[in-house]
């Protein structure tokens, strides 16, 4: 290949549409601030003044610059040129983009890193998020573009020996992708701590060429601490996860289509995790049909019995094959666990789990007695559907958990916050609550209206942005949600401390959170305790099961 001038490459790289996002690790200490000038002194930019700054302030200045500005500043003088490598620390290829544009820019970046080892050594994170897989120009084929992108990512991984975070997320393309060289290279990488792969067809031949070996005690283990895999079944999976000794957060989604009939690689992968992931704290499993609850229950039971999963505190399961009997088999070993946070998806595309009823909670209270948080969620619901059965029975089921602090519901079990509530939509369910709406609004500590209060501040869903849910609609729906929560706490749940919070989740909202309420218990007429929501709507930055950006348990 023809030799490349590094300065020319850097200039070209600044025009590739690549974002540079250096994390702001700490604020600039006061003692490093440049000397102030008097009010009467004429102020003007000075290269000499900037060069006289200590290294740390200059580093933070570069950390907040776009890649183009970083390169421009580095080119002002020889002394600043060494900071040019900061442009390559944190690289992002974000939407809107096309598969072709990604392939072109990633390939050029790979050439830069191959020709400039000091730039390659500076790379710490690489985030590629695909958006459009259909925009392929004439003269190119999908196969050519895929090969180019696959080879580009592979070259970056081979040269960037200090990379610790890799995201390849093509979920927005609504397609399954195949990067054989990238996946084969990942098996050999030992530095990546955070890995996210979305909508990929995993390799099938690698397992045949690389049968699962015994762990070599002298071999450096993979650095994986947080891994999210949204992939199709394939032999690559158990090879990839054969040594999960450092794993702390694992999200595993086996895509339904296309699947290989009789493929048990998901089971091999989870079996390896349950027998070796001694640091695992969170396990998030999602597969509409593929997970066998009985087999999974036996694996987890073994992991708890042998103490491998002694640090596991949070567990999320999303499978539409769960029934009351398989629920008991899945959680049969959890009484030996340290699990305190549990999420179960109980409605898939408007269909409830088989046998769903408050009996689920009664059985779970016996199987997982130390729960502090339980989330009943949904996936793919388009129409509001109330919880089946009597709410008082659901309240009784929740009261069986003696340590429960927080209950989380999908907001679609109550109201679709982004659309006006139809006049005849379950009117009877809210008839009593409508009469209590005034009392809720009169509480000086409660703010649920849509008039710019603290409660709905910052909500920006795609539908809101597109005008699908005007502010008054959102505000009135939040009132409906608040009335439902208030009525549920006082008429059906009636739990005392340590219970304190009720939340409603919705994936269309920031942090997947529609609203949250604290509970307040006061003495009412005749000495009867009154349970009510208190203070304005609460918000969160996310949840522990969120595969893109999970937050710590609380």
Query: If you write DSSP's letter for every residue of 96-140 in order, what string do you get?
Result: S-BHHHHHHHHHHHHHHHHH-HHHHTT--EEEEE--BS----TT-
pLDDT in tens, 415-437: 999 888 665 444 444 444 433 33
Residue 194 has pLDDT above 90, yes or no: yes
Residue 207 has pLDDT above 60, yes or no: no
Residue 10 has pLDDT above 50, yes or no: no
The predicted pLDDT at position 216 comes to: 60
Answer yes or no: are the C-beta atoms of 323 and 286 closer than 8 Å.
no
Residue 530 has pLDDT above 70, yes or no: yes
Mean pLDDT, to the nearest integer, of 341-362?
Answer: 93
More confidently predicted of 553 and 142: 553
Answer yes or no: are the C-beta atoms of 246 and 275 closer than 8 Å.
no
Mean pLDDT, to the nearest integer, of 57-66?
Answer: 78
Residue 538 has pLDDT above 80, yes or no: yes
pLDDT in tens, 456-480: 333 333 444 334 455 678 888 899 9
- Residue 114 phi/psi, 5-degree rounding, is -65, -35
* Tokens 């949070």 -> residue: 314
Residue 202 has pLDDT above 80, yes or no: no
Residue 23 has pLDDT above 60, yes or no: no
| DSSP alpha helix (H) spans, 251-312 | 265-276, 293-305
pLDDT in tens, 105-118: 999 999 999 999 99
The predicted pLDDT at position 535 comes to: 72
The predicted pLDDT at position 532 comes to: 84
> Strand runs (DSSP E) across 189-335, as ranges?
194-201, 226-232, 249-254, 282-286, 314-318
* HEC per residue, 497-553: CCCCEEEEECCCCHHHEEEEEEEEEEECHHHCEEEEEEEEEECCCCCCCCCCCCCCC
* Three-class secondary structure of residue 58 per DSSP: helix
| 210-224, 317-331, 370-384: the lowest-pLDDT one | 210-224
Mean pLDDT, to the nearest integer, of 324-353?
Answer: 93
Residue 292: pLDDT band (50, 70, 90) is confident
The predicted pLDDT at position 425 comes to: 47
Distances 143 to 146, 153, 181, 282, 328 between C-alpha atoms, Å: 5, 15, 14, 37, 47
Mean pLDDT, to the nearest integer, of 52-71?
Answer: 78
Residue 513 has pLDDT above 60, yes or no: yes
More confidently predicted of 250 and 54: 250
Answer yes or no: are the C-beta atoms of 306 and 333 closer than 8 Å.
no
Distances 525 to 343, 432, 488, 491 between C-alpha atoms, Å: 37, 19, 19, 15
Measured CA to CA, the distance from residue 418 to residue 382 in angstroms comes to 11
The predicted pLDDT at position 83 comes to: 78
* List of residues 6+ apart from 227 with CB closer than 8 A: 194, 195, 196, 241, 244, 247, 249, 250, 251
DSSP 8-state class, residue 488 = I
Residue 256: pLDDT band (50, 70, 90) is low
More confidently predicted of 349 and 173: 349
Residue 234: pLDDT band (50, 70, 90) is low
Exposure string for 346-376, b = 16+ CB within 10 A, e = fewer: bbbeeeebeebbbebbebbbebbeebbbbbb
Q: Which of 158, 69, 160, 144 is nearest to 104 (CA)?
A: 144
How many percent of the chain have pLDDT more than 90? 42
Measured CA to CA, the distance from residue 268 to residue 235 in angstroms comes to 9
Residue 553 has pLDDT above 80, yes or no: yes
Residue 381 has pLDDT above 90, yes or no: yes
Radius of gyration of the chain (CA): 27
| DSSP alpha helix (H) spans, 160-291 | 180-186, 206-209, 236-240, 265-276
Residue 37: pLDDT band (50, 70, 90) is very low
Measured CA to CA, the distance from residue 461 to residue 157 in angstroms comes to 35
């Amino acid at each position: 290949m023809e030799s490349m001038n590094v300065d020319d490459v850097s200039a070209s790289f600044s025009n590739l549409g690549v974002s540079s996002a250096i994390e702001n690790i700490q604020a600039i200490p006061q003692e490093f601030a440049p000397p102030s000038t008097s009010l009467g002194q004429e102020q003007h930019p000075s290269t000499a003044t900037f060069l006289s700054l200590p290294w740390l302030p200059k580093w933070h200045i570069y950390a907040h610059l776009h890649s183009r500005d970083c390169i421009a500043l580095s080119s002002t003088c020889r002394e600043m040129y060494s900071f040019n490598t900061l442009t390559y620390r944190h690289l992002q290829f974000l939407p809107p983009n096309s598969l072709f544009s990604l392939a072109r820019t990633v390939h050029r970046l790979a050439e830069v890193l191959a020709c400039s080892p000091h730039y390659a050594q500076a790379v710490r994170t690489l985030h590629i998020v695909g958006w459009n897989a259909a925009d392929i120009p004439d003269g190119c084929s999908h196969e050519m573009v895929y090969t180019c992108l696959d080879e580009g990512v592979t070259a970056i991984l081979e040269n960037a020996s200090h990379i610790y975070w890799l995201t390849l997320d093509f979920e927005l393309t609504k397609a399954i992708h195949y990067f054989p060289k990238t996946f084969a290279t990942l098996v050999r990488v030992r530095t990546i701590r955070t890995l996210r792969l979305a909508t990929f067809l995993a390799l099938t031949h690698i397992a045949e060429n690389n049968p699962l070996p015994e762990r070599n005690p002298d071999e450096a283990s993979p650095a994986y601490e947080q891994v999210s895999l949204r992939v199709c079944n394939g032999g690559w999976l158990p090879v990839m996860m054969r040594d999960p000794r450092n794993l702390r957060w694992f999200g595993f989604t086996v895509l339904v289509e296309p699947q290989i009939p009789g493929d048990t690689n998901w089971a091999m992968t989870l079996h390896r995790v349950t027998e070796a992931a001694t640091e695992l704290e969170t396990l998030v499993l999602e597969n509409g049909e593929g997970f066998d609850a009985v087999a999974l229950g036996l694996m987890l039971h073994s992991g708890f019995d042998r103490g491998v999963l002694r640090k596991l505190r949070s567990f999320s399961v999303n499978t539409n094959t769960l029934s009351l009997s398989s629920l008991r088999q899945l959680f049969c070993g959890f009484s030996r666990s340290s699990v305190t946070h549990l999420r179960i998806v109980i409605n898939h595309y408007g269909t409830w789990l088989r046998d769903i009823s408050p009996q689920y909670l009664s059985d779970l209270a016996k199987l997982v007695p130390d729960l502090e948080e339980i989330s009943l969620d949904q996936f793919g619901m388009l129409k509001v559907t109330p919880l089946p059965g009597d709410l008082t029975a659901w309240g009784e089921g929740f009261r069986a958990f003696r340590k429960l602090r927080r209950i989380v519901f999908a907001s679609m079990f109550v109201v679709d916050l982004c659309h006006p509530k139809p006049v005849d939509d379950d009117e009877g369910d809210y008839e009593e609550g409508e009469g209590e709406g005034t009392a809720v609004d009169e509480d000086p500590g409660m703010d649920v209206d849509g008039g710019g209060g603290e409660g709905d501040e910052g909500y920006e869903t795609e539908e809101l942005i597109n005008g699908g849910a005007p502010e008054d609609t959102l505000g009135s729906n939040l009132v409906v949600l608040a009335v439902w929560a208030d009525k549920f706490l006082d008429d059906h749940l009636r739990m005392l401390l340590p219970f304190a919070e009720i939340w409603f989740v919705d994936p269309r909202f920031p942090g997947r959170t529609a609203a949250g309420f604290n509970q307040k218990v006061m003495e009412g007429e005749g000495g009867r305790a009154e349970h009510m929501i208190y203070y304005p709507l609460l918000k969160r930055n996310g949840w522990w099961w969120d595969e893109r950006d999970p937050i710590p348990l609380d």
